[in-house]
Structure 1
Amino acid sequence: MESVLEEAVALLDEAGASALTFRALAQRLGGGVASIYWYVANKDELLDRAADHAMGPVLDVVEKLPQSDDPIDDLRVMAVTLFDAIVQRPWLSAYFMRNTSIQTHTLGLYEKLGQQTLRMNLTASQRFHAVSALVGVVVGSAVDLGQEPTQEMLDGNVDRDEYLHRVAQDWRDLDPQEFPFVHEIVDEFDGHDDVDQFRSALELTLTGLRLQAGV
């Protein structure tokens, strides 16, 4: 199973979920397609197990993080660790916690995040929503950062900053009375840093949690 999952993750890293077929995986393993069915029932299970396999090292890092006196600070470090992992492997986002009955590493990460909320004066409902919001910010931001570049960026005709500047110019041409918010933030959008945008969203979430818990 270990070698099957390692090769599955390698295929996913190279070309995403569409590249992960039983035939392609069997070729990499040097065996037949039928042999893979000894380990997984179908592609969905293979994807879920591969995602969880990739989460294993992330859980190891999180488990070794030292605990500080502030659970909010510890949540921040854990969130950034998870964010970095998904940015490196954007395909992970689609299968994160999709099947926790077999995704033990992923469930372990969820538990580690949740345990920090046990250090705060919150209700069970507040804890659940706090961790859900945190995971949403991390996974959603990582997905945005890992999106496939436009074709002209892939072709090398424009770089990211040039592309953003062009979009910003289109926004500036919009009617300011119809789009007052867009005109307000367009200079911030033009050339913005995606990681800084994630960290800002994370801080908004953690600040709200800190106020709610009175930490």
Structure 2
Amino acid sequence: MTDSTTSDAARRGGGRARGARTRERASHSLDSVLSEAVALLDEAGAQGLTIRALATRLGGGAASVYWYVSGRDELLDLAADSVLAGVLTSVAGLHTDDPIADLRTIALAMFDAIVDRPWLGAYAMRNTGAQPNSLSLYERIGEETLRLDLTPRQRFHATSAVVGFVIGTAADMGQEPPAEVVSGEVTREEYLGRATQQWRALDPAGYPFIHHIVDEFAGHDDRDQFLSGLDLLLDGLRIQSRR
């Protein structure tokens, strides 16, 4: 794994090998390319990110983007990794006497970074060989499990479970709303209200669980739902570490 300065230099060298124009690359930096890529992804999603669209946004030609990345796939991986760099920064000084509490804080920071970005769940930690911040975040989470009385296998499973739960739940909750909500035809509350009515209309004999929790569904908060699930996972980890 290389640091960002070394990676930047390596890409500049690769750009020379591809014959990129000095005039075009001089107007950008890797940080500015990734910053604008994330902004474009936040606005238009993964389908809206193209090398040409990003170059236009940056005010240069496509070669000025290719100076830093080999193509769209690498750009998506690095853009996702740059977001996770912010998570690393936010928890850099975190260290309490309770590793479970620290795991919860890191997981919540990671969730908050992903949940409002529907594109990010598919690319976060997709390729840690090319995503140094993702690998460092995985390491950071894993190091908290070193403070628990667990076997290497249990630590591996615990770290994977936390990462998988955070990314999976955030990606699910951050999905693009239905077209009628996006268009403004109905509000999110109206859409959920309609779904709630459909659930209430189901046969209680065939759907006893749905009827049991429908009132909770009607007024649920996504972040609270995530935290409840995370606490269940971490409570199990705490119990396992005491055996």
Instruction: State the distance in 2 between where 1:93 and 1:83 align.
Output: 10
Aligned-residue offset at 1:160:
2.4
Whether 1:61 and 2:64 are equivalent positions in the alignment is no
Equivalent residues of 2:118, 2:176 under 8 A apart: no
What are the within-5 Å matches in structure 2 for residues 29-108 of structure 1? 29-65=58-94, 67-108=95-136
Find the residue that maps to 1:75 and give its secondary structure.
helix
Instruction: State the distance in 1 between where 2:89 and 2:100 align.
Output: 20
Equivalent residues of 1:86, 1:142 under 8 A apart: yes
Instruction: State the distance in 1 between where 2:151 and 2:67 align.
Output: 44
Unpaired runs of at least 5, structure 1 = none
Instruction: State the distance in 2 between where 1:78 and 1:90 align.
Output: 20
Report the number of matched residues. 214
Q: Of residues 10, 15, 19 in structure 1, which corresponds to 2:39?
A: 10
TM-score computed with the length of structure 2 as normaliser: 0.83
Aligned-residue offset at 1:154:
2.6
Instruction: State the distance in 2 between where 1:74 and 1:34 align.
Output: 43
Aligned-residue offset at 1:7:
1.5
What are the within-5 Å matches in structure 2 for residues 136-175 of structure 1? 136-175=164-203
Question: Identity of counterpart residues, as a percentage?
Answer: 61
Q: What amino acid sits opposite 2:164 in the alignment? A: G
Whether 1:196 and 2:224 are equivalent positions in the alignment is yes
Find the residue that maps to 2:130 and give its secondary structure.
coil
Aligned-residue offset at 1:153:
2.2
Instruction: State the distance in 2 between where 1:120 and 1:39 align.
Output: 41
Instruction: State the distance in 2 between where 1:177 and 1:132 align.
Output: 38
Number of the residue aligned with 2:50: 21
Instruction: State the distance in 2 between where 1:79 and 1:116 align.
Output: 12
Whether 1:121 and 2:149 are equivalent positions in the alignment is yes
Equivalent residues of 1:52, 1:105 under 8 A apart: yes
Aligned-residue offset at 1:203:
0.6
Q: What amino acid sits opposite 2:135 in the alignment? A: L
TM-score computed with the length of structure 1 as normaliser: 0.93
Instruction: State the distance in 2 between where 1:114 and 1:138 align.
Output: 14
Find the residue that maps to 1:165 and give its secondary structure.
helix
Which deviations, in whole Å up to 9, do the C-alpha atoms of 1:26-83 show, x marking residues without a partner? Answer: 1122222123222211211110011111221211111122x11111011111111111
